Amino acid sequence: MTTLIVPLLLIFIAFVLVSVLLSFIPVGLWISALAAGVNVGIFNLIGMRLRRVVPSKIVNPMIKGHKAGLAIATDQLEAHYLAGGNVDRVVNALIAAERAAIPLQFERAAAIDLAGRDVLQAVQMSVNPKVIETPVVSAVAQNGIELRVKAKVTVRANIDRLVGGAGEETVIARVGEGIVTSIGSSESHKAVLEKPELISQTVLAKGLDAGTAFEILSIDMADVDVGKNIGAQLQMDQAEADKRIAQAKAEERRAMAVAKEQEMKASVQEMRAKVVDAEAEVPKAMAQALREGRLGVMDYYNMQNILADTQMRGNIAQTGKTESGSDSLTKK
């Protein structure tokens, strides 16, 4: 019995060791590489494990590239993988570029991928250009009429400028600026409506794709609408502002006139007070003259008679005016 347990135990230990060894060494992947004609050594696969590289992430793209006729070294793929790149996407981009006869080296594709751009999408965009639609751009012609324009920009990826080149937002901003400049230089909005292609020609002539990751193929005006009469609106706003200024100045002059009137009324009251004061001094002066003998009693009575006679004549004249006014009203 003991002689049977020992061999069985040895067989079990050997089976466990072989299972662990096979799980550490990707024998199946090595066999697939040999069958595809890719020269990857078993010790190289073990080294990938030790370098914390997933062997399938390297071997499968190498098989794909080898079948497509690409000469890619294992070290290049490992270095790109360790740098945080997408090896499979880079190989797919190289295959697509090879089929489309686009010159693209592995180092350039790896740099584009590490820069955060989709290198496969860039190659596809080089073959099949992309259409970028701009938002509505508002511009005003020289005659004050607003035009609202929406453009479609056809771009193609520029592989050489993908690293360090500006993106779609810059292209859209530059195209919008070109549209505003082109419409603003037009004497009338009618000229723009008659020939919208003039905007496209003017914008294309500016070389707006300089420094970007794209090459502008065409700019087409998708929609041109007439907006507000900005010139007339500005004139109305200016007229309204001038009217308010004039009203404010008129109100200021009226307030000054009212203040002046109040000052004059106060001055009149002050003069009347002075007259009243002066009239109050007359009886005192007459009494003083009587006491000093400079004015006789008869002189005083004569003066009183004259004043009474004057008052009577004034009352008679006032009564006559009242009666004549009543007669005229009765006749009417």
How far apart (Å, rounded) are the C-alpha atoms in residues 302 and 308? 10
| Contact indicator for 297, 290 with CB cutoff of 8 Å | yes
Q: What pLDDT score does 13 carry?
A: 67
How far apart (Å, rounded) are the C-alpha atoms in residues 151 and 135? 8
Q: What pLDDT score does 129 carry?
A: 87
Q: What pLDDT score does 331 carry?
A: 52
How far apart (Å, rounded) are the C-alpha atoms in residues 123 and 156? 9
| Contact indicator for 134, 153 with CB cutoff of 8 Å | yes
Q: Which of 155, 84, 167, 253 lies closest to 245 in space, CA to CA?
A: 253
Q: What pLDDT score does 16 carry?
A: 60
Q: What pLDDT score does 322 carry?
A: 66
Q: What pLDDT score does 214 carry?
A: 84
Which token pair is 311? Answer: 């008052």
Q: What pLDDT score does 15 carry?
A: 59
Q: What pLDDT score does 197 carry?
A: 79
Q: Which of 185, 191, 175, 278 lies closest to 226 in space, CA to CA?
A: 191
Q: What pLDDT score does 125 carry?
A: 85
Provide the residue count of the chain: 332
Q: What pLDDT score does 230 carry?
A: 73
Q: DSSP string of 207-232?
A: -TTTTBSEEEEEEEEEEEEEEEEHHH
How far apart (Å, rounded) are the C-alpha atoms in residues 87 and 92? 9
One digit per residue, the tens of pLDDT, for the chain of length 332 reads 556 676 666 666 665 655 555 555 666 677 777 777 777 777 777 777 777 777 778 888 888 888 888 888 888 888 888 888 888 888 888 888 888 888 888 888 888 888 888 888 888 888 888 888 888 888 888 888 888 888 888 888 888 787 777 888 888 888 888 888 888 888 887 877 877 777 888 787 777 778 888 888 888 887 888 877 777 677 787 888 888 998 888 898 888 988 888 989 888 888 888 888 887 887 787 778 777 777 776 777 787 788 788 888 888 887 766 666 555 545 55
Burial class (CB in 10 A: 0-12, 13-18, 19+), 244: exposed
Q: What pLDDT score does 12 carry?
A: 62
Which token pair is 132? Answer: 């970028």
Q: What pLDDT score does 21 carry?
A: 55
Q: What is the dihedral of CA 47, 49, 54, 58, to 10 degrees?
A: 10
Q: How many CB atoms lie within 10 A of CB 38?
A: 19
User: What are the helix (H) ranges across the chain?
Assistant: 2-24, 27-36, 42-50, 55-67, 74-82, 87-99, 106-114, 119-127, 168-184, 189-194, 197-205, 230-292, 297-331
